[in-house]
Amino acid sequence: MPTIEELILRERDRQTHSINLIASENFVSDYVLRCMGTVFTNKYAEGYPGKRWYGGCEFTDQVEQHAIDLAKQLFKAEHANVQPHSGTQSNLAAYMALIKPGDKVLAFKLEHGGHLSHGAAFNASGKFYKFVHYGVRREDGRIDEDEYTRLLKENPDIKLVVTGASSYPRAIDFKRLAGIAREHGALFMADVAHISGLVAAGVHQSPVDVADMVTMSTHKTIRGPRGGMVVCSAKWASKLDRAVFPGGQGGPLVHIVAAKAAMLEEALRPDFVQYQKQVIANAKAMAKAFTDIDSRKYRVLTGGTDNHMVMVDISGTGKSGIEVENLLGEQKIYVNKNFIPYDPLPVTQTSGIRVGSPLLTTLGAKEADFVQVVQLIDKAVNGENVAGEVQKFMADLSSRR
């Protein structure tokens, strides 16, 4: 068994020399990384600034209040809770604050792009609440607003609508969906785990002014530590805070809260907006590159993307999603297998892959680089050995920094 230090070095080497297209991953800055590895990991701090169950929290209070203030500023929100340990725990806290166990919720289908915390039967959300699900239209892969509206009409006891996705490549019209939910007497929640950075930068519509609560993870496009966060109106502040602590968590991870504060400082800089614009431009270039190679071999779902990810039906290659994921991984190109809407294959195989642009964009990649990456993917799928080209690509990218 290698030592932990050896494994850390091996993982750093893997990340440095591979092409990573996992849409839910990113590289944090050295500043964020340093904030995670601090003595704040030693501190127990159940409660909130000024209201702790332990002594010695004077500096912890300042760190957390700084993060709260920055989150409110960035998302133009009246209240923020920066303690959730993950996006899923952010969602569970929002449910606890907004509705009661057994209440009915309308959410996006997992197999069409939703998240397991949006009512999957094997998740706590599906065990404690009654979910009905809307999906996308078969003909174009876009959110089926007719089905969304019909389900609200057919289920007048729906208390909450959950929007947001983890594998949907198009912009979500939160204002329209919120308006329909309100017309049917339901509360409205937006999960922006994947697009939080795009929302923060103003390159995707923000749901903050139309949603009762907005949940997110902090380690994707917003480029922070692994964790979660929730913003909401002042009306829900007290219920949200009680739902996070003591409702679902004990002491916060103070070193992670410090890193979230560092992330938020960076997200308020002008260069962060430019980064998010480049993320979208690169994803669009990647979508076009797949289509240009062969639109039957690589069918880009919805015909393109509005955000940081591209969903690709790869059944035209004669391979399943897991086969392509493994084949590419062997040559240090990382993607993830993914359901496509109305997928005939099981979740362990899938007919699709999900690819994203955030991480390589953080390293400085531009549109032409993503075209080259797609060409490398196609070569590898065709059976060519591209390991050397991958290594050269990453070396060239690193030399620009």
CATH code, 372: 3.90.1150.10
The pLDDT of residue 1 is 85
Question: Is the domain of 330 the same as that of 391?
Answer: yes
Question: Is the domain of 237 the same as that of 293?
Answer: no
Q: Over the stretch 48-80, which tens digit does the pLDDT of each residue have?
A: 999 999 999 999 999 999 999 999 999 999 999
Question: Is the domain of 164 the same as that of 282?
Answer: no
Q: What is the mean pLDDT of residues 134-138?
A: 96
Is the pTM higher than 0.85? The answer reads yes
Q: Over the stretch 211-267, which tens digit does the pLDDT of each residue have?
A: 999 999 999 999 999 999 999 999 999 999 999 999 999 999 999 999 999 999 999
Q: Over the stretch 351-390, which tens digit does the pLDDT of each residue have?
A: 999 999 999 999 999 999 999 999 999 999 999 999 999 9
For 257, the domain range is 30-267
Question: Is the domain of 334 the same as that of 391?
Answer: yes
Inform me whether the pLDDT recorded for 401 exceeds 80: no
Domain boundary among 239, 267, 295: 267
Question: Is the domain of 180 the same as that of 203?
Answer: yes
Number of folded domains that form the chain? 2
Cα torsion angle, 256, 260, 263, 265, sign:
negative
Q: Give the pair of three-digit tokens for residue 234.
A: 């002042």
How far, in Å, CA of 179 to CA of 313, rounded?
Answer: 33
The pLDDT of residue 149 is 98
Question: Is the domain of 217 the same as that of 330?
Answer: no
Question: Is the domain of 175 the same as that of 283?
Answer: no
Domain boundary among 205, 236, 267: 267
Residues 190 and 160: beta-carbon distance below 8 Å = no
Question: Is the domain of 257 the same as that of 278?
Answer: no
Question: Is the domain of 302 the same as that of 390?
Answer: yes
Question: Is the domain of 214 the same as that of 352?
Answer: no
Domain boundary among 267, 292, 319: 267
How high does pLDDT run on average in the chain?
97
The pLDDT of residue 119 is 87
Question: Is the domain of 104 the same as that of 193?
Answer: yes
CATH label of the domain that carries residue 40: 3.40.640.10
- Separation of first and last alpha carbons in the chain: 35
* Closest C-alpha among 346, 358, 350 to residue 312: 350
Question: Is the domain of 186 the same as that of 288?
Answer: no
The pLDDT of residue 400 is 84
How far, in Å, CA of 351 to CA of 337, rounded?
Answer: 8
